[in-house]
Chains A and B, each alone.
Chain A
């Protein structure tokens, strides 16, 4: 699914990623953990193609395609979805209008027929229900006046509608209370499928008690310094990151 090789990237002339390697197979869930400033969020943005994030060396391939030579929107068409840590507001543009446009764009690229309004609405309603968002949110401006938790659930709702191949969840668990966390986790679990991969970027082991990852990686100093199974997350919870930085 995803193959990252010796990836180097910088933001504002500051080197953040310094030789990152990661391979994610189809159907797998990977958790990426690590201390603040280690480059976790940067990885998501570099893969998604955020302006200002420059790749200086290495490669990243999604489904065999060179991701780095594609525009942001083409990466999305290919099936990459980044759930933002802090999604921005777009006042006046209704969530529904936004979703319809984005679903249309992605389906068009995939060669799927455009959804008529009825089937789209049906899917949108189902997705709202799955993340426990009131249907009224479809009519509100994109993220406009949403609480932190509502924004996160809104991102997840979009992810469900777009049916991406690779989901990158950037600290989707941060700022959620325990109930919301469970809703989000069951939403993500429902998305697990043999032809979809999920990368969970998180600080805390908490999320991983609800979503069992296949692999856990520790990102530190712009590289993956340790990989393991889910027990690694528990170990990190106990010991912190400091011991790994020495290894790095």
Chain B
């Protein structure tokens, strides 16, 4: 399709106005300022946000795709992506679970996902999501009583413009990197959380999310603000495999922990990894970062098993004195998957502390890289970091890499780094098998043992599921 055609098509949509049924709105491929105007207008956004998006777009045009990551893939054709598509119409979606790919259902069952959630995840058409509606309402009421704001970022733009204006883009600036700029220009939707001063969020923001998260789109944007002395635990994602026709996912997550606040952010990422040869599969290029003010704490926990390519470095800027940053990660790659993931701990304040525990597991002919930066600024008196970075190899065709970057500009700062690489040994397998376990059970047990320190950090129900998830993800990795 030529540029002219696209523009024509867009104008046509424009001419039609925005009164059309939401289910039929989809933009043709391509990105220009009109695309952004369309998205912004469709979401009925205020002028300032449109300008904000356009500014990001102008930066993006001047930027180049990052090439330093240890991953290889054909160039992404940004003009062949459709930057706005509404959820599929009810009539085009499967009408019941019987119409869904049995392989997908089997995986859901292995993971122990309840039936009604399976239906939501598989995109079954339902006007009313039975159980979950009442659940959702109860949750909302409970959160409202505590003064917690939890809504989509599109709603927040209308309902809490001051908060959005004050914090959006303050942690991950629009110019931060290529994909963050792209996200800022075209972000579809995402979540907004605000915890008022001194409030401890009365529930894990997870169950709610798990039911409602499907179809948030490929350019997700999340902003979490924890006001002074507040506390929140947020779980993103789902252990069930997420299928999506969009290959490129570029999300941005911003966390703001004000003085004395604590944010715990856990992720289970299981996007479609592609087939055994690496065909298909999601490119997951995510920017996640938090700013920690005085005496506050930000903790990232991630379990990454999906996506063809993962490019992701949840980071902490430890701005305030005595602030704490943590990063606990399990990244598993199988078949042809590639992951380049890690964290950045930027110590600015005095006596700031950070802990990094990274567990990389490679199977098949996959490649798994840890990339981490620990930076001690000149004023980070007494700052400390501890990094432990372990790699586990399964089979002899996979690869594990570690790229630690350490910069210390303060002589009183203490940085410790430990790294190990090990293999699931034949002797370990032999011992397990001699005791009656089959090879797959044995490998999954060994891998789970390897990840224990990270799983401990997950909310309990998810720690169990994460174990099962590894088992499912490793299927077929032993001969």
Chain A residues proximal to chain B, CB less than 8 Å = 48-52, 71-73, 75-77, 81-82, 84, 87-88, 90-94, 97-98, 101-102, 105-106, 109, 141-142, 158, 162
Contact = CB atoms under 8 A, between A and B. Distances in A.
B452 A105 contact: no
B133 interface: no
Nearest to A45: B430
Interface in B428-474: 428, 430-439, 441, 445-446, 448-453
B96 interface: no
A84 B428 CA distance: 12
Contacts of B450: 91-92
A141 B450 CA distance: 10
B246 interface: no
Given A72-B430, A93-B446, 8 more contacts: A72-B434, A73-B436, A88-B425, A97-B445, A101-B437, A102-B436, A106-B435, A142-B431
B445 A105 contact: no
Given A50-B430, A72-B430, A90 B437 contact: no
A81 B451 CA distance: 29
B427 interface: yes
Contacts of A81: 434
Contacts of A90: 428, 431-432, 445-446, 449
Contacts of A73: 433-434, 436-439
Contacts of A142: 431
Contacts of B434: 48-49, 72-73, 75-76, 81-82, 84
Contact of A102 (B435, B439, B446, B448): B435
Contact of A93 (B438, B448, B453): B448
Contact of A92 (B427, B438, B439, B452): B452
Interface string B139-176: 00000000000000000000000000000000000000
B440 to A, nearest CB: 11
16 contacts: A51-B426, A72-B433, A72-B434, A76-B435, A77-B436, A82-B434, A88-B428, A88-B431, A90-B428, A90-B445, A92-B451, A98-B445, A101-B437, A102-B435, A102-B437, A162-B435
A84 B431 contact: yes
A109 B436 CA distance: 9
A52 B437 CA distance: 19
B449 A92 contact: yes
A72 B442 CA distance: 12
Nearest to A88: B427
Nearest to B420: A91
Contacts of A87: 431
A101 B441 contact: yes
A97 B436 CA distance: 14
